[in-house]
Amino acid sequence: MKKTTLPLALLFLFTFVGMKQLQAQFIFPHTESRPVTDTLHGYRLTDPYQWLEDKTDPEVQKWTRAQHDATLNYIDTECPAVPGLRDEIQAYIDRDIESPMQLVADRQFFTRRKKGEKQSKLYTLIDGEELLLFDPEKIDPSGKSSLSGRSFTEDASRVAVGMQSKGAEISTYYIIDTQTGKVLGDPVEGLRAFSWTKDEEHAYIWVRTQEMIDAQKPIEVRLHKMGSDRAEDVTLLVPEDSKNTASVSDARYADLTFYSEGDFYATHSLRMKKTGSAAEPKEIYANQKFRASPYAIGDKIYFFTNHEAPNFKLMVADQKKPGFENWKALVPEQKDIVLESYAVTDNYLITVEKKDVLSRMVLRDLNGKKIKEIPAPEVGNVASVSYNRDVDAIFVGLSTFTSPYQIYRLDPKDLNREKLNWELYYKQEVPIDTDEIEAKIVFYPSKDGTKVPLFIVHKKGLKLDGNNPTVLYGYGGFNIGISPSFIGMRAMFINRGGVFAQAGLRGGDEYGEQWHEDGMLFNKQNTFDDFIAAGEYLIRENYTNTEKLGIEGGSNGGLLVGAVVTQRPDLFKAAICGVPLLDMIRFHKFLIARYWIPEYGDPDKKEDFQNILRYSPYHNIRMGIDHPTMMVTAGENDSRVDPLHAKKFAAALQNNLGQKNPILLYINYDSGHGSGQSTDQLIDYYAHRYRFMMHQLGMGE
């Protein structure tokens, strides 16, 4: 096989530490180059910083701590404190925060974190009196363990409460009597999730341990008898490949149990059997490209699916004839409208449908026929609709940029009335001033002419003089899109004259599955082109300029930031690259990253490898180029994206000839992929983050 040697600039064969230290204000810790050369698909790849991949190595730990300390020193000495900013962040984060009331059977449950507390706690109401059910701080006084999930029995007499430590996403579940708060039996450890079975004497448990993560073993679904030894657990499903997932669940409103296996986007097998039956489940759907999610009520099974329907559709089948050949379209796919979700009441069907990034509610009869649009109780994007059969009530969540998330309650008997009687069910009071803030949506052309949506939020009366500090945010992947949502702490930036922009990049769900597919696998470059075009639009329309334009993104959005700063380093002044994927040639070898092969491709396959290599940020740093000032962040306990990506990328940029702007590495030592931090840690993190970006954009000085 003919071997191809990549250009020297892509291989980081040299480091110029001494020269760099003279050029930059930020004196970064020295990173030794230890080249490791591999030949993949005929390409010779030399990696100077592969030694940073082992976070258990004392030398790597010492290097990481030195990098983080240098970052804090840079922020403290080079980024002046913005008057009042930290106080505002603290007031927003460290306040009384209460969740919406969760109604199960005839019981009420909620979480609350009071001002001064480190984590949220679970409560219930009994005869109007509060009872504390679970307090993670009693188990871990450090405040570094948080609630991670809960599952109630049908009568709500017991609840399984999950707790994770330091954001590791490996949970221990405690079984609690909801009348007394007493913990029943021993906790169930080493889980990803927990779900009660219909008989409530067992539970379906998703087994996940650190050893399984390190070995990239798939999450197993097992049947656990409550109170029994874990050695007696019965294995139900084990995916063949760790990039696949499996699930088992009992339908609450029908005597059916569903078994599903597949990857991120396709339901490879959906099987069903009568709950409690000893028979083997029967396959009712299988596909390598499309997915279908069942919801059973009585003798009907509803299927939310994109089967040959990129904008999704709702299908239905009789429980006695559940095979795919018997499914009928209840709400067919609609052109230019994405079906997002649905709720089924005794007499009606409510669908949530999205057009041009804004969602609305539609009332239909049980045969799917449209009756009318349901006007929202106030102006806002419909974020969620649900029907709670236990209390016979509809709950609608509304979101806007300038108001905190709100939930309204509606009696389903009122649905067909001309005037609906909405009851405000939940709204938080927040110490955020949005009176002078406004938002709008615009559409701009990407590189290939595709129209892309962009939200722009700023103070009223903004002057389009091309000199406004602006932060552009993006994600663009995994079928996750943008929608209006409360700006929260970003108001602190906007009220000081900043502009916040959020782009609906290809790879998201803004226009259905096709929009997602247009930004994944071999179309991934479209995502980066869309983001670059958004920056160019903001400059062209006189919102900002290259010296005032910052960018942010996390996780897949961290990959986005890494890609665009290596492709267009001239366009941006500063960047925050959060918990990122950056070495895309080796991403699938660590933690749970095999899950994401359906999104990015498999580097072990030559065609995928060649595509990924074109944009992999770590492999596309250009020698002699000064990249924007960056803060690259990582969670040391991240079980999704290994912090090695942030570490290697920061080292390579710091030692790149021509790099004058500071490259900072910020490590959250007691968190994972954005979760697990205590109140104090969150305040410190956001104070550093905002102080860094606002200084770079010339604010608050």
In the residue annotation, 359 being an active-site residue is answered as no
Is the separation of the CB atoms in 343 and 361 below 8 Å?
A: no
Catalytic residue chosen out of the listed positions 673, 678, 688, 695: 673
Q: Where are the beta strands (DSSP E) in 495-584?
A: 499-503, 549-554, 574-578
Contact indicator for 29, 629 with CB cutoff of 8 Å: no
Catalytic site residue from 242, 399, 555, 616: 555
Q: Decide if 673 is catalytic.
A: yes
User: Is 638 noted as a catalytic residue in this protein?
Assistant: yes
At 408, is the secondary structure helix, strand, or coil? strand
Say how far apart CA 97 and CA 669 lie, in whole Å: 25
Distance separating alpha carbons of residues 539 and 528, to the nearest angstrom: 17
User: What is the CB-side half-sphere exposure of residue 25 using CA atoms within 13 A?
Assistant: 11
**Whole-angstrom distance, CA of residue 491 vs CA of residue 498:** 9
Do the bridges between strand 499-503 and strand 470-473 make them parallel or antiparallel, or are there none, so unpaired?
parallel
- Please give the single-letter amino acid code of residue 47: D
Residue 173's Cβ-count burial label (10 Å; 0-12, 13-18, 19+) is buried
The residue type of 337 is I
- CA 420 – CA 414 distance, rounded (Å): 6
The Cα–Cα gap between 298 and 304 comes to 17
10 Å CB burial of residue 223 (0-12, 13-18, 19+) is middle
Helix, strand, coil % in the chain, rounded to nearest 5: 25, 35, 45
Kindly name the residue from 94, 530, 638, 670 that is annotated as catalytic: 638
Contacts of 488 (CB under 8 A, 6+ apart): 92, 430, 432
Active site residues: 555, 638, 673
